[in-house]
Amino acid sequence: MTDAATAADLMVRPATELAAMVRAGEVSARELVEASLARIEALNPTYNAFLDVFPEEALAAADAVKPGDERPLAGVPTAIKNNRPILGKRWTFASSLFADFPAPMEWIGVERLRDAGAIIVGQTNLPEFGIVPTTESRRFGAARNPWDPERTPGGSSGGAAAAVAAGMIPIAHANDGGGSTRIPAACCGLVGLKTQRGRISSGPLTAWSFLGVDGVVSRTTRDTAVALDVLAGPMLGDVAWAAHPGHAFAAQMDQAPSGRKIAFTTLSPLADAPAGDGARAAVLEAAELLRELGHEVVEADPPWQLPGLEEMFGALWAPMLPGLEEMFGALWAPMISTQTAFGAMIAGREPTEEDIEPLSMALYRAARELDALTYAGVEMQLQTAGRAITQWIAQYDALLCPSLAEPPVPLGTISTTDADDPLSGFRRAAQFTPFTAV
């Protein structure tokens, strides 16, 4: 068994470095998995990053990985967020409605990670249905930030980020609709990429997703690039996918970019949720560094406070603004409602107050009152607004802005269980994370 000091050292190294060590015979895949399991056993009671751990299966899989294995993630321990299915494992969305439902299917990304040599050691924590940017479900409790256990590691991929930041695993699956990969990465000091829609298949669950896309949280951009090469590509039955760029994403890591035109802004998409002093200072510091690296850097504010745009994203992502009940439901509630309806189908009955949290119930009820035309109309408005922002950004190679408007909030700040005001958590979430949804 790997000793505690060695386990701690191994699990804070980049995933690609660990795979190279396995390839060279410097460490075995079993030793990496043992190190991960030891760290989980020691740290998970504090950080609550993992919901389930699979020690016997993980060790057996590790024993099949030998020195000389050329796969990009050979022997690397990882984990899957518990809103994607692993065949036969409980699939909960962090909701009591799902009980311990065993997944009857497996997300294509699980297969791709295994084919790349990665070893799945468990499943990570999330807020119920992945709704809010903190990881505090009524069913499983709060995941904690390894930098400050009294604060959130972010959400909804907060368990994944806490697991990587604490050194339980070097890389973890995450996914992102309005910031659920990028927010935890920012909270925990990690790399979090929301990929282009259609880049990574969500099959066999869905054939297309307007909001949610899968990816990873990691310690380095190289690890994220390698994982993107592993996960990218359509699955048979997908209705749309992003064309492959014609080269490996990891190959770009060896190319030093020069002469890029980069815009930066601290203008919040939500006028009543400005970026704090720390967020603004970080953007200015990053902009200056980019100038020193030889790029053209200009301050330019995107058109994301255009009339109607703030209301659309406010309705999508947080404050229940007067007169926008229909738009609120049309943009966000159907996604939550679909998951809730799936849980109700499994349970064989309508959800009750004991099954799901007050915020989830409010969204479910809102969606049940919507008609299809309202939903289709507001989604079209959102796509039109998104296209306008995309066309504005196209004049630059990149846009630099804050990830969060304020530091990671203390646990309990964003509530999903306030029965008297179930949408209060959404309103508070908007103040914390106004940038990522847009």
Catalytic site positions = 81, 156, 180
DSSP state of 80: E
CB 94 within 8 A of CB 127: yes
Task: In whole angstroms, give the CA distance from residue 216 to residue 157.
Answer: 9
Please give the C-alpha separations between residue 305 and each of 51, 268, 270, 308, 335, in angstroms, as whole numbers: 39, 8, 7, 8, 25
The strand ranges marked E within 15-67 are: 50-53
Q: Name residues whose C-beta falls within 8 Å of residue 46's C-beta, 6 or more positions apart in sequence.
A: 144, 149
Take residue 357 and report the two structure tokens written for it. Answer: 């949290």
What secondary structure, in 3-state letters, does 164-182 show? HHCCCCCEEEEEECCCCCH
CB 188 within 8 A of CB 145: yes
Give φ, ψ of 292 to 5 degrees: -65, -25
Task: In whole angstroms, give the CA distance from residue 124 to residue 53.
Answer: 9
How are strands ordered across the β-sheet holding 398-400? 296-299, 261-264, 398-400
| Closest residue by Cα to residue 153 from 90, 110, 211, 217 | 217
Task: In whole angstroms, give the CA distance from residue 229 to residue 109.
Answer: 11
How many other C-beta atoms can be found within 10 angstroms of the C-beta atom of residue 245?
12
| Helix, strand counts (H, E) of the chain | 15, 11
Q: Find the largest Cα–Cα distance for the chain.
A: 64
DSSP state of 434: T
Please give the C-alpha separations between residue 309 and each of 212, 303, 337, 351, 438, in angstroms, as whole numbers: 20, 9, 24, 33, 9
